[in-house]
């Protein structure tokens, strides 16, 4: 089930919320767990078992890490991490590994292609953060199984994050009171996220799909295409995150934000502090710092950055283009750290933002084109060698049809619109609610008209 579907919004959510609000006290947790399992089972019931196993296994191992003798703690931690990564690897990387080995040795290693359980990367990383935090004595293990299940299986952030850490919601898991004002704020977040997804992202997707599927493009057409994708992926993923945060608020939780206007960043390092914040901080805290971070020799520091970014790329998908995308960012960060740092600081803000957007848009080519020939062809078109010209009739067609959408996207990428809306909410609540109702009606119209359209990050 996806958030941006008629069934979820007008059937599942109202019924679930009604029951959730009517059931008192800890009964809400049971409703939340059952609702989460139903939500998950809607698409692929066979993987519900995996979700439940992951919760049971990590709950038990959390307690075991606390109770076992000191000498076997490390062994238990390694065992838990290996089992979690094995499950992730089995579904996500097994076929990729066999295909890669096969292509190196020029042999065919046949294998069935298993469908990827929805959200497996997100809930595996969430559970790993819990286990590692227990091992490092940052948190106490959760003694109540139901409470742990709420943390591990809660549907708002199950399918596409944010990767919520136990430490961040530990107290909320014990007590998460609901209220009408908080429900209202949550609904506002949800509608804003829904509008980002179905009104902006899904329409941008049509433009990029049309351009990238053409046999050949002019330079400007390719740039329009990748600009559309740049906006699409932001509004798709940040839309999902807004909806997850909004649903969390409706259920009485406060999740940390996952995006902080990343396209306003003035360098690539800042971009990654504003984009998919929960993933970036996960890799920082559980991979980069344990490897030594920047408190090591320069060669080891370089190694740490490249390892973290290759893994970040691989996390996104079992495909070499994602590894390339990760390494590309690793190299850019090294370049900024060791070469460009002072030069960038001396440039005007708008030049720094153009530089960052240029790097990010090139990065999305690696991300969106899944084959190396595809990447080479698209980049070749953007920079001329593979282009059919500088501009043609298609360029003007896509520019004309997309310009209104692009302008709205550029405005919505900045905080001003949201700030104005918050001021309006304080000044005139009725108008603010009317705007939300109009947005919901518009989004519903788009959902009725458009076909099934899952979130981009749900596939990871």
Partner 1 sequence: MPISKSLIIKTAMILFLAAYLVLIYTSDNAKNVPMDDIAAQMESSDTLTAMQKRDKGDLQRYYSIMDTDTDGFLFYKDVSPMSVNEMLIVKAGNKSDAEKFLEAAEAHLESQENVFGAYGTDQMALLGDASVESRGDYVWYMCGPDASAWHDAFMKLI
Q: Reduced to 3 states, what is the DSSP secondary structure of residue 358?
A: helix
CB neighbour list of residue 141: distance below 8 Å, 6 or more residues apart: 62, 63, 65, 66, 134
For residue 118, the minimal CB distance to partner 1 (Å) is 10
Q: Can residue 70 be called a binding residue for partner 1 (CB under 8 A)?
A: no
Kindly tell me which of 32 and 65 has the beta carbon lying closer to partner 1.
65
Q: Which stretch binds partner 1 (CB under 8 A): 13-21, 64-72, 357-365, 418-426?
A: 64-72
CA angle, 331 then 336 then 341, to 5°: 165
Q: Which stretch binds partner 1 (CB under 8 A): 43-51, 239-247, 328-336, 357-365?
A: 43-51
CA distance 29 to 20: 9
For residue 310, the minimal CB distance to partner 1 (Å) is 23
Q: Which stretch binds partner 1 (CB under 8 A): 47-55, 155-163, 391-399, 411-419?
A: 47-55
* Start-to-end Cα distance in the chain: 15
- Cα dihedral 100, 101, 105, 110, rounded to 10, equals -90
Touching partner 1, residues 111-150 (CB under 8 A): 112-116
Touching partner 1, residues 85-104 (CB under 8 A): 87, 90
Among 103, 136, 144, 459, binds partner 1 (CB under 8 A): 459
The residue among 126, 136, 125, 149 whose CA lies nearest residue 60 is: 149
For residue 73, the minimal CB distance to partner 1 (Å) is 13
Q: What is the DSSP string of 181-249?
A: HHHHHHHHHHHHHHHIIIIIIHHHHHHHHHHHTSS---HHHHHHHHHHHHHHHHHHHHHHHHHHHHHHH
For residue 57, the minimal CB distance to partner 1 (Å) is 6
Among 46, 295, 400, 426, binds partner 1 (CB under 8 A): 46
Q: Which stretch binds partner 1 (CB under 8 A): 109-117, 136-144, 304-312, 386-394?
A: 109-117
For residue 137, the minimal CB distance to partner 1 (Å) is 20
Among 22, 49, 167, 354, binds partner 1 (CB under 8 A): 49
CA distance 96 to 114: 11
Q: Can residue 64 be called a binding residue for partner 1 (CB under 8 A)?
A: yes
Q: Can residue 451 be called a binding residue for partner 1 (CB under 8 A)?
A: yes
Handedness of CA 278, 163, 172, 196 (dihedral sign): positive
For residue 316, the minimal CB distance to partner 1 (Å) is 14
Among 57, 399, 406, 421, binds partner 1 (CB under 8 A): 57
Size of the site for partner 1 (CB under 8 A): 23
CB neighbour list of residue 37: distance below 8 Å, 6 or more residues apart: 48, 51, 52, 153
Q: Which stretch binds partner 1 (CB under 8 A): 15-23, 55-63, 231-239, 399-407?
A: 55-63
CA atoms within a 13 Å half-sphere pointing along the CA-CB vector of 251: 33
Handedness of CA 332, 326, 165, 454 (dihedral sign): positive
Kindly tell me which of 86 and 358 has the beta carbon lying closer to partner 1.
86
Active site residues: 316
CB distance 213 to 156 below 8 Å: no
**What residues line the site for partner 1 (CB under 8 A)?**
46, 49-50, 53, 56-57, 60, 64, 67-68, 79, 83, 87, 90, 110, 112-116, 451-452, 459
């Amino acid at each position: 089930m996806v958030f941006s579907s008629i069934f979820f919004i007008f059937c599942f959510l109202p019924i679930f919320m009604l029951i959730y609000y009517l059931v008192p006290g800890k009964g809400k947790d049971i409703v939340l767990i059952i609702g989460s399992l139903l939500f998950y089972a809607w698409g692929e019931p066979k993987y519900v078992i995996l979700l439940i196993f992951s919760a049971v296994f990590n709950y038990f191992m959390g307690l075991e890490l606390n109770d076992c003798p000191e000498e076997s703690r490390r062994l238990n931690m390694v065992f838990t991490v290996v089992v979690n990564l094995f499950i992730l690897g089995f579904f996500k990387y097994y076929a990729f590994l066999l295909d890669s080995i096969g292509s190196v040795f020029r042999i065919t290693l046949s294998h069935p292609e298993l469908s990827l359980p929805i959200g497996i990367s997100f809930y595996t990383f969430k559970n790993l953060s819990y286990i590692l935090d227990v091992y490092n004595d940052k948190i106490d293990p959760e003694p109540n199984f139901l409470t742990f299940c709420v943390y591990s299986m809660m549907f708002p952030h199950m399918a596409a994050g944010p990767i919520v850490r136990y430490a961040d919601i530990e107290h909320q898991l014990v007590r998460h009171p609901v209220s009408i004002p908080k429900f209202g704020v949550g609904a506002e977040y949800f509608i804003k996220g829904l509008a980002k997804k179905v009104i902006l992202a899904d329409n941008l997707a049509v433009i990029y799909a049309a351009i990238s599927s053409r046999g050949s493009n002019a330079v400007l057409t390719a740039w329009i295409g990748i600009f559309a994708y740049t906006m699409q992926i932001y509004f798709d993923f940040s839309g999902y995150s807004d909806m997850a945060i909004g649903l969390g608020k409706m259920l009485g939780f406060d999740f940390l934000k996952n995006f902080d206007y990343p396209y306003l960043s003035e360098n690539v390092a800042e971009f990654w502090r504003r984009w998919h914040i929960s993933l970036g901080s996960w890799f920082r805290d559980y991979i980069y710092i344990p490897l030594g971070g920047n408190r090591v020799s320069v060669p080891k520091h370089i190694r740490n950055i490249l390892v973290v970014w290759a893994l970040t790329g691989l996390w996104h998908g079992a495909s070499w283009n994602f590894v390339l995308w990760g390494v590309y960012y690793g190299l850019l960060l090294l370049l900024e750290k060791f070469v460009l740092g002072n030069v960038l600081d001396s440039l005007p803000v708008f030049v720094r933002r153009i530089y960052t957007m240029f790097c990010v848009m090139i990065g999305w080519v690696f991300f969106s084109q899944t084959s190396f020939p595809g990447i080479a062809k698209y980049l070749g078109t953007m920079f001329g060698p593979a282009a059919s010209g500088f501009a043609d009739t298609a360029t003007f067609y896509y520019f004309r049809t997309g310009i209104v959408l692009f302008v709205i996207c550029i405005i919505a990428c900045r905080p001003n619109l949201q700030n104005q809306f918050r001021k309006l909410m304080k000044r005139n609540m009725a108008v603010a609610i009317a705007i939300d109702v109009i947005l919901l009606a518009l989004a519903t119209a788009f959902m009725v008209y458009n076909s099934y359209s899952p979130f981009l990050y749900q596939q990871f």
